Amino acid sequence: MKAEKDKEMMRELAWFRYTLRRFLRFSEKAARACGVTPQQHQLMLGIAGHTENGRATISELAEFLQERNNSVVGLVERAVDSGLVRRSAGKTDRRQVVVTLTPRGEEILSTLTHLHHDEVRRLRAGFLRNQMRDEKPSRARRKSA
């Protein structure tokens, strides 16, 4: 019984990881099709969505991206050079760097957000179908026990 449960859990985990990887691959392709790198897309998403005010500090972005501050600084520099974001000094602490989206960055992020929203809805429906499929046999097993 335990071995059967372990196999079932492994199948669920494998399917979840596979679906997650497919979503990430979709996301990477969508970003490139919109003319940005996947990292730039994640950066813009962090600026617009991680905080509620449409701006983020380097530290906040490092947390969102799960990267080191110095890696994020380089990513921000390249995004500034591409016209996706702008960087400014903090109002209360001039040493703090605040990053916001440019109109070009907002437009690209909006396009990517709509593409991703549709894909997430499709994946969510797949998760629900699989969950329902997996629950049916377990209900039948409980009734027969």
Residue 8, domain member (yes or no):
no
Residue 103, domain member (yes or no):
yes
Q: What are the tens digits of pLDDT across the range 64-94?
A: 999 999 999 999 999 999 999 999 987 887 7
| Single pTM value for the model | 0.80
pLDDT at 103 over 50: yes
Q: What angle do CA 39, 28, 81 make, to 5 degrees?
A: 35
Residue 5, domain member (yes or no):
no
DSSP3 helix / strand / coil % (the chain, rounded to 5): 75, 10, 15
- Domain limits for position 32: 25-144
Residue 18, domain member (yes or no):
no
Report the CATH number at residue 31. 1.10.10.10
Q: What are the tens digits of pLDDT across the range 17-38?
A: 988 999 999 999 999 999 999 9
Count of structural domains within the chain: 1
Answer for the pair 79, 43: CB distance below 8 angstroms, yes or no.
yes
Residue 16, domain member (yes or no):
no
Residue 11, domain member (yes or no):
no
Residue 86, domain member (yes or no):
yes
Regarding beta strands 85-89 and 97-101, do their DSSP bridges make them parallel or antiparallel, or are they unpaired? antiparallel
In 3D space, the residue among 38, 113, 106, 40 whose CA is nearest the CA of residue 76 turns out to be 40
Residue 112, domain member (yes or no):
yes
